[in-house]
């Protein structure tokens, strides 16, 4: 019964109206109000501020609300685990979160995983790194593929998968250097794919004379292909660029900012849900390891010949 009362409380937090919350739960308003009052009695605290209508939650009520959300998420995971044991297989929803920069990794893993676990309903959601972490905490994602250096957070666990380098991509016809410095990078007009590089680089790249941000790889590819824009991309995203004899990938002069650690972020549940564990194990299978290596080599056809440095 207490779980149902928590459902009433969460519905009220979402709808901000007693009647609408009751309708969302499929019960009468007195039933919903009675359930919430029962919670207040059980916990000996006022949770909801009431007048003629819903006025909000007390400070104590906000804490109860946070615990209610966590408990409901745990209950949903428990139900899925029990269903898995009953049916001797992985079933239900499995929600993957990716950055625009980790979409190639997402598809490299999700295609074989869909074959391995056909009864799972897979979905892939693209968002920024902070959004992915918030979705994990809220129980709206099961796993995220992101930059693990930016994901250390209470309640979340990181699992390093690989390290990749950032490259400067250009189709400009001017002579190219063997390597390029960050100082040279920000003298060029840049087309940048949202969340395709660690947040620590964002402020530095914003110093370029022109910066165009997009969340579409095809838009970025078109701008780079024009020769009037350059891009900073991780090596795994080179495959998103349209092949062109003019396109070149120039390594950045080595620094901490030229590398990024990519991996999984999960909750700190012990044990991990069976689908999450299976998804992570798949990444270490020989076939998938080979596919990841191929993905990380996508930039090689574009490596520039050694000529003279780009003029400032």
DSSP string of 10-75? Answer: HHHHHHSSHHHHHHHHTS-HHHHHHHHHHHHHHHTS--EEESSSEEEE-HHHHHHHHHHHHHHHHH
pTM: 0.66
Please give the torsion angle defined by the CA atoms of residues 39, 42, 45 and 50, in that order, rounded to the nearest 10 degrees: 30
284 Cβ contact partners less than 8 Å away, ≥ 6 residues apart: none
Which residue is listed with tokens 């909801």?
48
Compute φ and ψ for 77, nearest 5 degrees: -65, -40
Better pLDDT: 308 or 65 = 65
pLDDT digits (tens, 9 = 90+) for 262-309: 999 999 888 888 899 999 999 999 999 999 999 999 888 888 654 444
Task: Measure the CA–CA gap between 224 and 171, rounded to whole angstroms.
Answer: 6
Would you put residue 227 in left (φ > 0), alpha (ψ -120 to 50) or beta? left
Choose between 180 and 110: higher pLDDT: 110
Q: Choose among 69, 61, 137: nearest CA to 97.
A: 137
Residues in the chain: 312
Written as six digits, the tokens of 34 are 């009675």
- Matching residue, tokens 């308003």: 29
More confident position, 13 or 75:
13
**pLDDT in the model for residue 1:** 58
Residue with tokens 């991309």: 233
Q: Per-residue confidence at 86, pLDDT binned at 50, 70, 90?
A: low
Q: Dmax of the chain from CA atoms? A: 78
DSSP 270-284: SSPPHHHHHHHHHTT
Say how far apart CA 237 and CA 262 lie, in whole Å: 13
SS3 call for 261 = strand
Give CATH 3.40.190.290 domain extents, the chain. 89-312
Angle subtended by helix axes 29-43 and 18-25, to nearest 10: 100
Residue 129: C-alpha distances to residues 62, 192, 287 (Å): 26, 16, 28
Answer yes or no: is pLDDT of 101 > 80.
yes
Find the distance separating the first CA and the last CA of the chain, reported in whole Å: 69
What is the reported pLDDT for 310? 44
**Sign, Cα dihedral of 220, 223, 227, 228:** negative
Q: Which CATH architecture has domain 2-85?
A: Orthogonal Bundle (1.10)
**Under a CB-based contact definition with an 8 Å cutoff, are residues 250 and 180 in contact?**
yes
| CATH 1.10.10.10 domain extents, the chain | 2-85
Average pLDDT value for residue range 80-101? 77
Residue found by looking up tokens 């400070």 in the block: 59
Strand partners, 303: 249
Q: Topology of domain 89-312, per CATH?
A: D-Maltodextrin-Binding Protein; domain 2 (3.40.190)
At residue 149 the predicted structure's pLDDT band, cuts being 50, 70 and 90, is confident
CB-based burial, 193-211: b 16+ in 10 Å, e otherwise: bbbbbbeebeeebeebeee
Task: Report the alpha-carbon distance of residue 222 to residue 140 in Å, rounded.
Answer: 34
């Amino acid at each position: 019964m207490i779980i149902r009362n928590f459902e009433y409380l969460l519905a009220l937090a979402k709808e901000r109206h007693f009647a609408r919350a009751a309708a969302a739960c499929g019960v009468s308003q007195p039933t919903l109000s009675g359930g919430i009052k029962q919670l207040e009695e059980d916990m000996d605290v006022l949770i909801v501020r009431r007048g003629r209508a819903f006025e909000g939650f007390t400070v104590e009520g906000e804490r109860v609300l946070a615990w209610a959300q966590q408990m409901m998420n745990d209950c949903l995971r428990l139900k899925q685990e029990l269903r898995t044991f009953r049916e001797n297989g992985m079933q239900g929803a499995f929600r993957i979160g990716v950055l625009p920069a980790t979409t190639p990794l997402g598809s490299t893993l999700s295609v074989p995983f869909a074959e391995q676990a056909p009864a799972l309903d897979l979905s892939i959601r693209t968002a920024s790194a902070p959004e992915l972490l918030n979705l994990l905490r809220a129980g709206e994602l099961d796993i995220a593929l992101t930059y693990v250096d930016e994901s250390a957070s209470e309640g979340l666990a990181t699992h390093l998968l690989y390290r990749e380098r950032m490259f400067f991509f250009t189709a400009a016809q001017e002579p190219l250097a063997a390597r390029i410095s960050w100082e040279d990078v920000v003298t060029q007009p840049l087309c940048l794919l949202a969340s395709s590089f660690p947040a620590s680089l964002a402020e530095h790249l914003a110093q370029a004379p022109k910066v165009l941000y997009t969340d579409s790889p095809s838009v970025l590819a078109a701008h780079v292909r024009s020769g009037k824009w350059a891009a900073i991309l991780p090596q795994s995203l080179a495959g998103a660029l349209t092949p062109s004899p003019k396109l070149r990938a120039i390594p950045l002069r080595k620094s901490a900012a030229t590398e990024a650690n990519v991996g999984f972020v999960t909750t700190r549940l012990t044990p991990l849900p069976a689908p999450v564990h299976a998804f992570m194990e798949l990444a270490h299978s020989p076939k998938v390891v080979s596919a990841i290596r191929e993905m990380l080599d996508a930039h090689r056809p574009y490596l520039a010949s050694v000529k003279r440095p780009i003029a400032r």
